[in-house]
Chains A and B, each alone.
Chain A
Amino acid sequence: MKMQPTIIELEHKAYALREDLITMLEHAGSGHSAGPLGLAELVTTLYFDIMKYDSKNPEWNERDFFFLSNGHCVPIQYVAMAHAGFFERNELKTLRKLGSRLQGHPERTKLPGLENTSGPLGSGLSQAAGVAYTLQYLDKNSRRFVYAITGDGELNEGNIWEAAMFAGKYKLSQLIVFIDRNNIQIDGPTDEVMPLEDLHGKWEAFGWHVQEIDGHNVESIRDAASMARAITTKPSVIIAHTIPGKGVDFMEYDYRWHGKPPSSDEAKDALHKLRTLDGKITGEHE
């Protein structure tokens, strides 16, 4: 049985994933920067603390499921999967290249370990709910959980609220959803494009157990997931407040970094900032 990682270890892991992410995005020459950077702690904690899986046997029939509903953030998932042993880190360089298993948006049939194919927003939550329904009512297997991440801009989609109603009706308590509340989408701040508040109240009204956390605090993420697993009468949503571009100061909070990769110089700068915790320490591996 694998050892429970310490909080410090998880924090370091999240920064290691960010470094690989910047390198892979620069290499790819296209892709999304801000969202994946902001998800580093969430994805790290899921893959290295919360979820049970076997990277050498991705179809293991007692694994937890993970659905990334906002498929454009898949680069951070690819990095986590490489670190978790699903494939070699070297393969990260193939992101978005012809013939790669690491498609620009995730394709289940191409890469073992992915549970779904996503990109067009709003559908991943329904797929996760379909699995959760199957576990709870058809297989009657309460040992497995279904985790999902959605974006916040993605909540503009009607399909999301159809799924929210469905999961609420059937009290899908093995379904645990993280909302990446980073307040940006392509056209600007979420509250200008299409206001989402009262987000907490909306999910409660749909019959969900709602928590709000700092999405960069791995201890909060771990605790919120434990709490969600303990709720046996409702589906759980965890609104994770995150900073888009987290860890690279010139990308943070700037919606223009939603859909582009860093240039070579920008990547160098970003890696320096990540390795030195923004100048606070001396980088060891530069």
Chain B
Amino acid sequence: MSHYPLKRNIYADDVEREPTRAGFGRGLKVAGEIDENVVALCADLTDSTQMSKFKEAFPDRFVEIGVAEQNLVTVASGMARAGKVPFTSSYAAFSPGRNWEQIRTTICLNDQPVKIIGSHAGVSVGPDGATHQMLEDIALMRVLPNMTVVAPGDSVEAEKATIAIAKNGKPSYLRLAREKTPIFSTDDSPFEIGKAYVLREGGDVSLLGTGTMTYQLLVAAKILEEQGIKAEVVHVPTIKPLDDRTILASVQKTGRVVTAEEAQFAAGFGGGIAELLSEKLPTPLLRIGVHDRFGESGSPDELLELFGLTGDKMAKDIKHFVDTTPQYHR
């Protein structure tokens, strides 16, 4: 297990919080400093997707596209053909929600290093309601050949992930959240595309989290420990390509698996883990996330509660799963 330093006091009430999109905003500026070919395109949401930092630093390399998500990604495809590394941003509900075919043909099949930044993903968008709560983006992006899919766990990791995808030379999707979420990683925590990280060791069950749900799994693991269940928490920021080796090693050890994501788990992260396990290492599985329904208006906290996406609720569900499910690979 590689060492993964966690921030101190992450379980305290005053844990530091910041939206992952803020980390993206910082990271994009750094990526722009590193590589002058990095350019940014936005569909009329520059401030809320946090492209404004890049725009201030490099006004000549920022392109306003207007409310036109199909044009957003196809203009970016052309700019990539001309040697640029284009970052495109909108809300995930619109990009990749509306322009999936353009992403498929002109970016993935065409193999151009365009970066799709989907902000405001998940139910935690809150009062805007189901239209703006993107839950199907992981599924949409995960099935595309050539595409890399990253859902950072917190803002610190989002910054690192942004800098990393600027350099990978491939089509990439970065999934971001609107709301402030707890920061559990540190500047020294590792991030590499395609790598999963064991944040907490245990032998009774593997808790695989992606995006900001990893923090909730850490909270759940702490609660479960008090109940005598030793959970291993594995953070999986890269959904495609999956770090099969790290995931399978943990599951081999624990014999029970839980996945958590703020998205439809069908064909999503949980779907991907189910595919992996059913072929390589069949293991009892509990998938936490949204299942075959849309979100609705409400406060972010109310909605996370409603969908069972808080550490407290997860701990209850995981306890029941562990108590009623045989442990495999023993």
Interface residues of A (CB under 8 A from B): 65, 67, 107-109, 115-120, 122-123, 126-135, 137-139, 158-159, 162-163, 165-166
The A-contacting residues of B in range 53-77, CB under 8 angstroms, are 60-61, 63, 65-66, 68, 70-71, 74-77
Q: List, in ascending order, chain B residues with CB within 8 A of A109's CB.
A: 109-111
**Cβ distance A208 to chain B, nearest Cβ, rounded Å:** 16
Shortest beta-carbon contacts, A-B, top 5: A130-B78, A126-B74, A162-B71, A127-B78, A134-B82
The reply to whether A108 and B63 form a contact with Cβ atoms under 8 Å apart is no
Known: A120-B102, A130-B75. 4 other contacts (CB 8 A): A117-B105, A126-B77, A135-B82, A163-B75
Q: List, in ascending order, chain B residues with CB within 8 A of A123's CB.
A: 70, 74, 77, 102, 105-106
The reply to whether A115 and B81 form a contact with Cβ atoms under 8 Å apart is yes
Chain B positions 181 through 196: 1 when the CB is less than 8 Å from some CB of chain A, otherwise 0: 0000000000000000
The reply to whether B81 and A166 form a contact with Cβ atoms under 8 Å apart is no
Q: List, in ascending order, chain A residues with CB within 8 A of B75's CB.
A: 126-127, 129-130, 133, 163, 166
- Of A119, A131, A134, A165, the residue contacting B68 (CB under 8 A) is A165
The reply to whether B68 and A117 form a contact with Cβ atoms under 8 Å apart is no
Q: List, in ascending order, chain B residues with CB within 8 A of A117's CB.
A: 105-106, 109-110
The reply to whether A130 and B102 form a contact with Cβ atoms under 8 Å apart is no
- Cα A133 to Cα B84 in complex, Å, equals 11
Does B101 belong to the interface (CB within 8 Å)?
yes
The reply to whether B105 and A130 form a contact with Cβ atoms under 8 Å apart is no
Residue contacts A-B, CB under 8 angstroms, 18 given? A107-B109, A108-B111, A116-B106, A117-B110, A122-B70, A126-B78, A127-B81, A129-B78, A130-B74, A130-B76, A130-B82, A131-B78, A134-B78, A138-B60, A139-B82, A158-B70, A162-B71, A163-B74
Q: Which residue of B61, B68, B102, B110 has the most chain A CB atoms within 10 A of its CB atom?
A: B110
**Cβ distance B170 to chain A, nearest Cβ, rounded Å:** 13
The reply to whether A134 and B105 form a contact with Cβ atoms under 8 Å apart is no
Q: Kindly report which residue of chain A lies nearest to residue B106, judged by CB atoms.
A: A123
The reply to whether B81 and A126 form a contact with Cβ atoms under 8 Å apart is no
The reply to whether B70 and A126 form a contact with Cβ atoms under 8 Å apart is yes
Are A134 and B79 CB-contacts (below 8 A) given A120-B105, A123-B106, A159-B102? yes
Does B39 belong to the interface (CB within 8 Å)?
yes
Q: Kindly report which residue of chain A lies nearest to residue B146, judged by CB atoms.
A: A109
- Cα A132 to Cα B81 in complex, Å, equals 11
Q: List, in ascending order, chain A residues with CB within 8 A of B111's CB.
A: 108-109
Q: List, in ascending order, chain B residues with CB within 8 A of A129's CB.
A: 75, 78
Does B83 belong to the interface (CB within 8 Å)?
yes
**Cβ distance B222 to chain A, nearest Cβ, rounded Å:** 48
- Of B66, B71, B79, B105, the residue contacting A119 (CB under 8 A) is B105
